[in-house]
Amino acid sequence: MARVFGQDTEENRKERKSYQVLFGLMNTDIWSFLGRDNHDHGVDYSFEYIENGEFRGYRILAQIKGSKVTKISNNEVVFDLPVKTANYAVGSSQPFILFFVNLLTECAYYLPLQDYFIANPDKMDALEKNTSTIRVFIPLNNTIEDPELVAVAKSQYSFDEEHGLRKTR
């Protein structure tokens, strides 16, 4: 019987290129990269912020997406996020960020998903519907060099049916 091997695909190559671009933009003096586990909940990597040379537990969970085609409208990247990833993000107490990498320009943008859904309650309501994706908008000024990324790493969230999603730190 002939053996069957996994095949490299365009999607795999695009994913690897997205990681390569994003990691190249991250300052390794202040960010430590932690690989994903074998459970695919939408978390590709986590990044821990190193504050004054110390690991203090400030982490962000990350979904990393890349494309050679970038839809831009009103100074925002338009992205169709899988609802299952959005629901996982909303239920996480750690900050969960969508990183989008433009593979042509090698620019990366980020969207703190919990903050996005807190600011857009209509989108939060849409997560309860049975759809496969939800359209989100990533500001073009949310780049990896943005110091706000550190502030996001220091955030913490809570979600329950009574109070919904809220930022606790």
Convert the pLDDT of each residue in 101-155 to its tens digit: 999 999 999 999 999 999 998 888 888 876 899 999 999 999 998 789 999 999 9
pTM: 0.90
Q: Fill in the amino acid letter for 2.
A: A
Distance (Å, whole) CA 70 – CA 160 = 35
- What pLDDT, in 10s, does the model give residues 40-60? 667 889 999 999 999 999 999
* Of 133, 128, 138, residue with least CA distance to 165: 128
| 48-52: Cβ within 8 A, 24+ apart | 48/153, 49/150, 49/153, 49/154
pLDDT for the residue 83:
92
What are the phi and psi torsion angles at 113 (to 5°)?
Answer: -65, -40
Domain residue extents for the chain: 10-167
pLDDT surpassing 70 at residue 38 = no
Could you tell me which CATH class the domain 10-167 is placed in?
Answer: alpha beta
